[in-house]
Structure 1
Amino acid sequence: MTTEDPVIRLSEEECWQRLRGSELGRLVTRVGEVIDIFPINFVTDGTSIVFRTAEGSKLIELTVNHEVLFEVDEHTDADAWSVIVRGSAHTLDTLDEREAADRLGLKPWVPTLKYNYVRIRPSSVSGRAFQRTGEPERYGVSDY
């Protein structure tokens, strides 16, 4: 008896389609032995991710180590998916970069001033999708 794999690998384009339809993700940073995770709202810009942040630990950590992970997942009662982006994050420093980012329409979810734009340039993008069904029988009679 064979069981079809319930987990489907998403193509890179399928990953980007899901990212373009989402607004909230998690940014993972690492400085030395300290790993942090931050919820962020974001937009996609082509094949990069842009978010805004205020001065603070997230921005400091990105300055120390620009390598990040970014993860987005969503689910319904019927299905679920998850996309992980590995890449490097850099603040947008030039006036042209910041003006282009302003045109993306990214607004903070929390009423705080977030003057810093950050762009994540991916080195890899991967994702999985699956149907949410019941757990297989764990203790029943097995076929030999």
Structure 2
Amino acid sequence: MGDAPNNGKIDFEGCYQLLAGAVVGRLALIVDGHPEIFPVNFVLERRSIAFRTAFGTKLWESMKEVPAAFEIDGYDPATEEAWSVTARGGTSLIEDPDERSAVDALGLEPWQPGEKSHYVRLSPRVLTGRRFKVKAPDVWTTRLNDERRKSFE
């Protein structure tokens, strides 16, 4: 699925496939000169990452013309592989009603209660991914909540 052979890199299309299959990611923004990370639920619309937010830090920082980053990751117990996808690019408000409707039609519904009336788009300029085989867990010392334990079951 979208991998270059043997080097662990996930190609462009593979990254988009993983993004399209995910629901929650982490948005990284610079706030007061320091990196901040915000979990957001999102949809992939027109090859960009779209999410909704209330008025506040995420909205304010997303309106600035500074780069942002977005990351998702996962683990597949069947293949014992972990993966990660990172997008870097600019953010912009989605103000056009037709564009908002297109995002809503994809099922973007914020998980957190409260009004999330502002729509934001992160347009990736750089999209990278990596997949790797995880180290086999030790049945006696691996924490019970470690996803790798599923390979024992």
Normalised to the residue count of structure 2, the TM-score between the two structures is 0.78
Aligned length: 131
Q: Does 1:105 align with 2:91?
A: no
Matches within 5 A, 1:65-84: 65-77=65-77, 78-84=80-86
Q: Contact 1:31 / 1:65 at 8 angstroms: preserved in 2? A: no
How many angstroms does 1:104 deviate by? 1.9
Q: Which residue of 2 aligns with 1:140?
A: none
Looking at structure 2, the residues matched to 44 and 85 of structure 1 have their Cα atoms a distance apart, in angstroms, of 12
Provide the rounded CA distance (Å) in 2 between the counterparts of 1:41 and 1:100: 16
Q: Tell me the residue number matched to 2:96.
A: 94
Aligned to 2:8, the other structure's residue is in SS state strand
Which protein is bigger by CA-based radius of gyration?
1
Q: Cα offset for 1:32?
A: 5.1
Look up the match of 2:125.
Answer: 123
Alpha-carbon RMSD: 2.0
Q: Which residue of 2 aligns with 1:35?
A: 35
RCO (CA 8 Å, sep 6+): is it higher in 1 or 2?
Answer: 1
**Contact 1:52-1:117 at 8 Å conserved across structures:** yes
Structure 1 pair 102–66 and aligned structure 2 pair: CA distance change class (3 A)? farther
In structure 1, what is the Cα distance between the partners aligned to 2:52 and 2:106? 11
CA–CA separation in structure 2 for the residues paired with 1:103 and 1:48: 15
Unpaired runs of 5+ in structure 2? 1-5, 138-153
CA drift at 1:98: 1.8
- Letter in structure 2 aligned against 1:49: I
* Percent identical: 41
Amino acid of the structure 1 residue aligned with 2:16:
W
Q: Distance in 2 between matches of 1:60 and 1:69?
A: 15
* Structure-2 change in CA distance of 1:43 and 1:22 (3 Å): same
**3-state DSSP class of the match of 1:64?**
coil
**Structure 1 residue 126 displacement after superposition:** 0.3
Query: Which shows bigger deviation, 28-37 or 108-117?
Result: 28-37
What does residue 57 of structure 1 align with?
Answer: 57
Q: Is 1:31–1:64's contact at 8 Å kept on the other side of the alignment?
A: no
- Unaligned regions of 5+ residues in structure 1, if any? 1-5, 136-144
Distance in 1, matches of 2:11 and 2:38, equals 26
